[in-house]
Amino acid sequence: MKKKVIVLGAGMVGSAMAVDLCRNYEVTIADINKNQLDFLKKSHPIKAIQADLSDKEILQKLIRDFDLVVGALPGFMGFKILKNVIKTGKNIVDISFFDEDPFQLDTLAKHNNVTAVVDCGVAPGMSNMILGYHNEKMKIDSFECLVGGLPFKRTWPYQYKAPFSPIDVLEEYTRPARVVENGEMITKPALSEPEYVEFEPVGTLEAFNTDGLRTLLKTMTITNMKEKTLRYPGHIEIIKILRETGLLNKKPLDIYRTKVRPLDLTAKLLFPKWKLDKNEPEFTIMRITIKGKEQGKLKKYVYNLFDKFDPLTKVSSMARTTGYTCTAVADLVLEGDFDRKGISPPEFIGKDGNSFKKIMEYLKERNINYEMLTD
């Protein structure tokens, strides 16, 4: 009998994960959006349930009979959903990018005998696994992750489209960026320290500080660590104008006796401009650089990823690189290859060489290839 998986969230990434998982498992997907559910139900062997997942009682009743929960909801819902799933005693692999510290739920997860893997996307996610893998083999002095998802077609004014929730993207532009320099964690403004970086085959991109290290700040003792987000040159200045004008603020304004958060208004206005067109070509690009000593000698590893929209499956690159990392880990949990109880960030998976190898093979089978260079 096939194991049963429920995917929470039928957005671009959640849908891609459900389709991938239904190859080997009995999959149900739940969302409040009926149209997307109907499409998935008609085109794939997937059960679909329309539900308000923010309702604790509905959620806990919904997931009761499943072997694994896969979370693919916006960040503002993520922590609450994770907590409610853990309370139900269900294992979960989650990709939501929430503000809160997931380790707040570690005791609860252990008490309920739950395996909970968080931040399980491309970055954070695969970037953490790569670092976790090498951290077991060498003394690392520095870790840098440069990552971004972009449309091939550059259009005025933003030269950007969001492959996931625009409000989650805007959070990256406002949340202070935590980095590690000379062994100390310091905080820098988001969008700070821009630099031009060359990438094949797309050319020049602009990198800037974002708060992507997350759990690595607690789990890794490395002298220098940073993550930067990649965009086309010129995008940062436009976002800075929005931010400095106050259009990314969370404090509500009183407008004609109606309370409105500027961030919500901005996200609403940007959604039609940032939404990818149907089957629009886009790409994900990432470069991870790890330096340190291995067996007493200086060593550097560089991982490069360049992935494109798949015209055959019609799955976006961001959905592929994020979603299939998550489904690879879901496969490990379902097959009993990873069963650590408590909150597990991806670096805990990467430190196990066999698990890391299986994930890389899983991604390669789906034509997601990480090129590794060393010197």
CATH number of 20's domain: 3.40.50.720
- Do both 223 and 250 map to the same domain? yes
Residue 257 belongs to some domain of the structure: yes
For the chain, percent of residues with pLDDT exceeding 90: 86
pLDDT tens figures, 3-16: 999 999 999 999 99
The CA-CA-CA angle for residues 320, 322, 324, to 5°, reads 55
Contact, 32 vs 51, CB < 8 A?
A: yes
For residue 344, the model assigns a pLDDT of 98
Give the pLDDT band of residue 271 (cuts 50, 70, 90). confident
β strands within the chain, DSSP E:
4-8, 26-31, 46-50, 68-71, 92-94, 115-117, 139-151, 177-181, 184-188, 195-199, 203-209, 224-231, 253-255, 258-260, 282-294, 297-308, 342-344, 370-374
Rounded CA-CA distance 136/229 in Å is 26
Residue 87: per-residue pLDDT? 97
Q: Is 103 exposed, middle or buried (0-12, 13-18, 19+ CB in 10 A)?
A: middle
The answer to whether position 168 is within a domain reads yes
Of the residues 255, 277, 308, the one at which a domain ends: 308
Residue 40 lies in a domain: yes
Q: What is the mean pLDDT of residues 124-153?
A: 97
User: Do residue 149 and residue 237 come from a single domain?
Assistant: yes
Total domain count, the chain: 2
Query: What is d(CA 186, CA 182) in angstroms, rounded to the nearest whole number?
Result: 10
- Looking at the structure, do residues 117 and 184 belong to the same domain, yes or no? no
Q: Which residue has the higher pLDDT, 162 or 299?
A: 299
Give mean pLDDT, residues 284-291: 98
- State the helix-helix crossing angle for 262-274 and 166-174, rounded to 10 degrees: 120
13: helix, coil or strand?
A: helix
Choose the final residue of a domain: 285, 308, 331: 308
Segment among 41-50, 102-111, 161-170 with least mean pLDDT: 161-170
pLDDT band at 341 (very low <50, low <70, confident <90, very high): very high
Reported as a pLDDT band with limits 50, 70 and 90, residue 79 is very high
94 lies in the same domain as 225: no
176: DSSP letter: P
Are 144 and 269 members of one domain? Answer: yes
pLDDT at 258: 93
Split at pLDDT 50, 70, 90, the class of 272 is confident
In terms of residue numbers, what domain contains 223?
126-308
What's the chain's average pLDDT?
A: 95
Task: Kindly tell me if the per-residue pLDDT of 143 is higher than 80.
Answer: yes
- Is 375 inside any structural domain? no
Q: Which region among 79-83, 250-254, 275-279, 337-341 has the lowest average model confidence (pLDDT)? A: 275-279
Q: Residue 144 forms beta bridges with which residues?
A: 226, 289
Do residues 267 and 138 share a domain? yes
Tens-place pLDDT, residues 132-141: 999 999 999 9
* pLDDT at 33 (0 to 100): 86
CA–CA–CA angle 294, 297, 299 (5° rounding): 65
For the segment 164-192, the average pLDDT, to the nearest whole number, is: 91
Are residues 243 and 94 part of one domain?
no
Number of H-type helices and E-type strands within the chain:
13, 18
Q: Report, as an integer, the average pLDDT of 28-48.
A: 91
Judgement on whether residues 286 and 162 belong to the same structural domain of the protein = yes
Residue 124: its pLDDT value, please?
95
pLDDT at 95: 96
Residues 180 and 286 occupy one common structural domain? yes
Q: Look at residue 166 in the predicted model and tell me its pLDDT.
A: 74
Which among 290, 308, 326 is the end of a domain?
Answer: 308
Copy the structure tokens of residue 344: 């597990």
Do residue 62 and residue 200 come from a single domain? no
Own/partner pairs for 187-193, CB < 8 Å, 24+ apart?
191/236, 191/239, 191/240, 191/243, 193/228
State mean pLDDT over 74-80: 92
Amino acid at 261: R
**Predicted confidence (pLDDT) at residue 22 exceeds the cutoff of 90:** yes
Domain match, 203 and 333 both: no
What CATH number did the domain enclosing 248 receive?
3.30.360.10
> Reduced to 3 DSSP states, what percent helix, strand and coil does the chain have, rounded to the nearest 5?
35, 30, 35
Q: Predicted confidence band at 99 (pLDDT cuts at 50, 70, 90)?
A: confident
pLDDT surpassing 90 at residue 34: no
Are 48 and 194 found together in one domain? no
* Residue 307 contacts residue 82 (beta carbons within 8 Å): no
Please give the structure tokens belonging to residue 54. 């923010």
pLDDT at residue number 172: 87
Q: Which residue has the tokens 């496969």?
A: 331
Element (H, E) at 326: helix 317-334
**Following CA atoms 307, 347, 227, 158 in sequence, which dihedral angle do they give, to the nearest 10 degrees?**
40
Strand partners, 181: 184
